Structure 1
Amino acid sequence: MDYQSAIDWLFSQLANYQSQGSIAYKPGLENIEALLKGLDNPHTKLKAVHIAGTNGKGSTAHAIAAMAIENGYKVGLFTSPHIKDFRERIKINGLLLEETYVVDFVNQNQALFERIRPSFFEITTAMAFKAFADKKCELVVIETGLGGRLDASNVLNPILSVITNIGIDHVQFLGDTRSKIAFEKAGIIKKNIPVCIGEMDEETAPVFIKKAKAENARIYRPKSLAFKTDLLGDFQQLNLNLAFSAIQVLIEKGWYFDAQKNLNALNRIKKLTQFKGRLEQLQKDPIVLVDASHNAAGIELLFQEIQQFDFNDLHCVFGSSNDKDFEKSVSLFPKDAHYYFCSFDSSRSLNATDFNLLGKKYKLNYKYYNTADVAYSAALKCSKVGDLVLVFGSFFILEKII
C-alpha cells in the first residue's frame, strides 16, 4: 500500500480516540508491551524525557526538543494529536517521519497487529519508539497521550520525567477531582528518576510528593525567569521555565548544553521543531490567531492572553468535543464577541442543538455553521480592519484553518 492507503488503514482499522472518543481508550500496558516485544523492545534503547500534564505538554516538549537540537543532538519528538499530517506526531530534528517509514511499518507488521489488536495510539506509540531506535536518536522527548499511569507511553524507563500542571479534563478516564487526576499523571514518576514539576498547589502537591518519595525520585521545580521566545503568549513563560529546568537536570546528569545555544533555541522553537497551533498568528489585519485550547483552564487563559493585542471587535470560531466540560468553557466566553460555532466530522463533535442551547443560555451573539472552514470564511467576511479573529477549540477545527 502507498502512504495514503497506510494512513486510511490506520484510521479505519484501529480504534482512534481523536475521532471516536472513549470507545478507543484502552487503559493498561499489556497491549503496548506485547506490541513492543514483537518489535524487539525498541523503547529500551531510548534515552527519554517523558512529559505528562493537563495543559502545556506540547509547548514544553517542543521547547526541550528545540534546545537539544540547537546543541547538536539527534532528537526524536513524539506528541499528539496532529493537526493536518499524521507524521506531525513523530518528528526527528524537527522533520516529519518519512512517508516510506510509515508505509513499511504498517505493511511489515500486519500479522502482529492482527494478533494483538492494538489501539490507534498504541500502534502510533510503537511506531515512534521503533523509528527513534532505528534512526539512533540520542535523546527523545515523549508526550503522554492521556493521563500517565496507564498511558501507552508509560512503558518507558526515562532519564527524566516532567509534569506540567493539573486541571480538570478527561474526567471520565482520569477522575473528577484534581487530586485524582494528579494521581494518574504522577504515574510517570519512576524509581530513582528525577522529576520536574511545573505547578503544584495544596491539592496536587501531596500527591506528587507521596509518589516521588515512594519512588525515591527527586523533585525539581522551575525558577521564574523571563525568556525571549518566538511563541506568543505570556503563559508560555511557565512552559519555557519548566523546559529550561528539565535541561538543567540533564546537565546535572552529565549531558552537555551550551547556555547561549539554549537561549537561542527558545527564540526559534517554531523553526527548529515545526511547532504549530498554539496562539499562532496567521495574518495581521484583521489579526487572525489560532489556538488549540480546548478545556476550561486553557480557554480562560487564552482570553486573558489575547488582551495583549490591540483590536476592536472580537470574532471567535469555535468547535469542541462533546466529552469535554464544554459548558464550563462556554460560560467563560466574553459576551461582547461575535461567535461562529461549528462542528467537525466526528461522533465526538458538538452539534447544532448543543450550540443553540449554549448560545441561548449564555446570551451569546452567535451563528452556527456545519464546518470550520465555512465558519472561518464567515468570520473573515464579517470582520473589519482592526478586528481580531480567534479560531480555537478542537484540533479538528484547526485542521481546516492552518
Structure 2
Amino acid sequence: MENPKTLADWLIRLEALHPKAIDMGLDRVREVKQAMDVQFACPVIIVGGTNGKGSTCAMLESILLRAGYRVGLYTSPHLLHFNERMRVNGASCTDQELIAAFDKLEAIRGDVSLSYFEFTTLAAIQLFADAKLDAVIFEVGLGGRLDAVNVLDADVAIVTSVDIDHTEYLGDTREKIGFEKAGIFRSGQTAICGDPVPPASLVEHAEKIGADLWLFNRDFNYSGDKQQWNFSGRGRRRNSLGYPSLRGANQLLNASSVLAALEALRLRLPVGAQEVRTGLALVDLPGRFQVLPGQPTVILDVAHNPHAAATLAQNLDNMNFAPYTYAVFGAMQDKDIDGVISHLKGRVDHWCVTDLPLPRAASAAEIRDKLISAYGEVPPAGDSERSIQTFASPAEAFANALSRAGENDRIAVFGSFLTVAGVMEFRNSEHH
C-alpha cells in the first residue's frame, strides 16, 4: 500500500490505523522506538499534569528561543491545524516536513500497530532528532506512566497540577492520578511538581525511584505584588520579573515550574535574566484565557474540567465589570460537566450551549438539562436577564451570543478545544 501524498490523507490513514483511539501501554511504542535508533544529545523536557501543561510548554519554548537555542516543541491537541502539534524554532512544521517524518516512520514500524497519537508522537521524535536541536519539549497526551511520550527519558520532568480528569483511564482520586502523572519521572533526574498540594503517591514514587524531586514551597516558590514578581529556587533567585503575557491566576505557578526547570538545566542551557523577562513577556498561546481585542469582550479558554473551570471563574472575577456574561459552552460526555457548571453558574447570565462534531461529545440538550437542574428552574422564554439556548455548532452559538450582547458585555467560550476551535474558525471566516 503506498503512502499518502498529502498531510490530510495521512491523517485520515492514521485515524484508521489502530482499533482503539486511546490504547494505554508502551510495549508497541517502545518496540518501534528501538527500531528507529534515535538518541537526543540535547536535554529532553517532558511536561505532564491535569491543567497548565500547554502554558508551561509555551513559556519554556519562548524563553529558550529568546536565549538563542534551537528548540523543538510537541503538544496536543491542536486548535485549527495538525501542524501546530510540532514546532521547530517557534514555527509549526510544514506539511512537507510532517509527511517526510511520517514516511520515515512508516518504513520503520513494520507490522506493529500504532494509534494516531502513538504514531504522531514517534514521528515528532524522529523529526526533532533529525533537526539537531539544543532542547526538546514534549507535552504528555494523557496521564504519564502509559502515555506514548513516556518512551523518552526526560532530563527534566514537570507535573504542573494533579486534578480529576480522564477518570476512566487514570483513576478517580488525586492519589491514583498522581501516581500515573509521576510515571514520567526518572531516577537520578530532575522531577518538578508545581502543584502546591502534591499527592503523596507522586512524592512517594519520586522518592522510591530516586528522582531529584523539586516541590513547590519546599524547593522553589514565588512572591509578588501587582507590578512584578520574584522567583526563588534552590540556589537561585530571579527578581523583579514582569508577569507572563498569558493571563490568569495559575500562570505564576506554571512560570515558577519553568524557572525551576531552567535552574536544574543551567549548566547545559544557561539563560540570562533579560531572556527570561522577554520570553515571559512575549509568550503566546491561543485559547488559554485569551482575551480578544474589541467589544463585546470575547474570552477563549479551553477549560474542560472543574479545576480549570474554577480558574476561569477566578479570572472572570478579576476582569472589569460586565453587565451580562454570555457563555458559549460545549463539552465531551466523559467530562464532569456538572462540576464545570457549578463553578460558573453564578457568573453566567446567558448560556449558549452547543453540540460538538465528535461522537463522544455531550449533546447541547444534555448540557441544557444539567444547567436546568443546577439552577433548579427553567428560565422563562424571552427573559432578558437569564437564558439557556441550544445550538448545533459553536459558530451558531457564538453568532447568537454576538447578536444579543451589548458592547460592554462579555462572551466566554469554553468547555473543550473543539468549542474554542469552532469559534476561532468562525471569526477567521468573518474577518476574511
What is the TM-score normalised by the length of structure 1?
0.92
Work out whether residues 43 and 129 of structure 1, in 8 Å CA contact, stay in contact via their aligned partners in 2: no
Cα distance in 2 for partners of 1:93, 1:219 equals: 29
Q: Which residue does the alignment assign to 2:154?
A: 158
Aligned partner (choices 3, 6, 14) of residue 2 of structure 1: 6
Q: Which residue does the alignment assign to 1:352?
A: 364
Matched, 1:277 2:271: no
After TM superposition, give the deviation of residue 146 of structure 1 in Å: 0.6
Cα distance in 1 for partners of 2:337, 2:289 equals: 20
Cα distance in 2 for partners of 1:113, 1:366 equals: 50
Work out whether residues 101 and 127 of structure 2, in 8 Å CA contact, stay in contact via their aligned partners in 1: no
Structure 1 residues 97 and 318: alpha-carbon distance in aligned structure 2, compared to 1, 3 A threshold: same
Q: Which residue does the alignment assign to 1:62?
A: 58
Aligned partner (choices 190, 194, 197) of residue 190 of structure 2: 194
Structure 1 unmatched ranges of 5 or more: 16-22
Amino acid at match of 1:269: V
Matched, 1:266 2:277: no
Cα distance in 1 for partners of 2:144, 2:400 equals: 40
Work out whether residues 192 and 216 of structure 1, in 8 Å CA contact, stay in contact via their aligned partners in 2: yes
Structure (1 or 2) with the larger CA radius of gyration: 2
Mean Cα deviation higher: 101-110 or 223-232? 101-110
Amino acid at match of 1:279: F
Cα distance in 2 for partners of 1:62, 1:181 equals: 24
Matched, 1:332 2:343: yes
After TM superposition, give the deviation of residue 44 of structure 1 in Å: 4.8
Q: Describe how 1:81-160 pairs up with structure 2 within 5 A.
A: 81-110=77-106, 112=108, 115-160=111-156
Q: Which residue does the alignment assign to 1:375?
A: 397
Amino acid at match of 2:281: N
Identity %: 28
What are the superposed Cα offsets for residues 18-54 of structure 1, whole Å, 9 maximum, x if unpaired? xxxxx421111111112223322x2555521111111
Work out whether residues 44 and 157 of structure 1, in 8 Å CA contact, stay in contact via their aligned partners in 2: no
Amino acid at match of 2:365: T
Cα distance in 1 for partners of 2:70, 2:107 equals: 31
Work out whether residues 207 and 213 of structure 2, in 8 Å CA contact, stay in contact via their aligned partners in 1: no
Cα distance in 2 for partners of 1:373, 1:70 equals: 36
After TM superposition, give the deviation of residue 112 of structure 1 in Å: 4.7
How many residue pairs were aligned?
A: 387
Q: Which residue does the alignment assign to 2:305?
A: 295
The answer to which structure has the higher helix fraction is 1
Cα distance in 2 for partners of 1:238, 1:338 equals: 32
Cα distance in 2 for partners of 1:2, 1:174 equals: 35
Aligned partner (choices 220, 223, 235) of residue 221 of structure 2: 223
Structure 1 residues 107 and 316: alpha-carbon distance in aligned structure 2, compared to 1, 3 A threshold: same
Matched, 1:11 2:15: yes
Cα distance in 2 for partners of 1:304, 1:29 equals: 38
Cα distance in 2 for partners of 1:332, 1:254 equals: 43
Cα distance in 1 for partners of 2:311, 2:289 equals: 11
Work out whether residues 193 and 217 of structure 1, in 8 Å CA contact, stay in contact via their aligned partners in 2: yes
After TM superposition, give the deviation of residue 14 of structure 1 in Å: 4.8
> Greater RCO between the two (CA within 8 Å, min separation 6)?
1
| SS of residue matched to 1:24 | coil
Cα distance in 2 for partners of 1:113, 1:320 equals: 35
Cα distance in 2 for partners of 1:39, 1:189 equals: 23
What are the superposed Cα offsets for residues 215-268 of structure 1, whole Å, 9 maximum, x if unpaired? 2222223311424221111321111111111111111x4431111111111000
After TM superposition, give the deviation of residue 157 of structure 1 in Å: 1.3
| SS of residue matched to 2:161 | coil
Cα distance in 2 for partners of 1:177, 1:5 equals: 40
| SS of residue matched to 1:141 | strand
Q: Which residue does the alignment assign to 1:19?
A: none
What are the superposed Cα offsets for residues 186-232 of structure 1, whole Å, 9 maximum, x if unpaired? 1111110011111142xx44223211222222222331142422111
Work out whether residues 192 and 218 of structure 1, in 8 Å CA contact, stay in contact via their aligned partners in 2: yes
Cα distance in 1 for partners of 2:339, 2:319 equals: 25
Cα distance in 1 for partners of 2:116, 2:34 equals: 17
Work out whether residues 148 and 188 of structure 1, in 8 Å CA contact, stay in contact via their aligned partners in 2: yes
What are the superposed Cα offsets for residues 259-286 of structure 1, whole Å, 9 maximum, x if unpaired? 111111100011xxxx211011223210
Q: Which residue does the alignment assign to 2:170?
A: 174
CA-based RMSD: 1.7
What is the TM-score normalised by the length of structure 2?
0.86
Q: Describe how 1:27-38 pairs up with structure 2 within 5 A.
A: 27-38=24-35
Work out whether residues 17 and 113 of structure 2, in 8 Å CA contact, stay in contact via their aligned partners in 1: no
Amino acid at match of 2:413: V
After TM superposition, give the deviation of residue 349 of structure 1 in Å: 0.6
After TM superposition, give the deviation of residue 110 of structure 1 in Å: 3.7
| SS of residue matched to 2:423 | coil
| SS of residue matched to 1:267 | helix
Work out whether residues 300 and 413 of structure 2, in 8 Å CA contact, stay in contact via their aligned partners in 1: yes
Aligned partner (choices 242, 253, 265) of residue 238 of structure 1: 253
Mean Cα deviation higher: 306-315 or 126-135? 306-315
Cα distance in 2 for partners of 1:141, 1:77 equals: 5
Structure 2 unmatched ranges of 5 or more: 224-228, 230-241, 380-386, 425-432
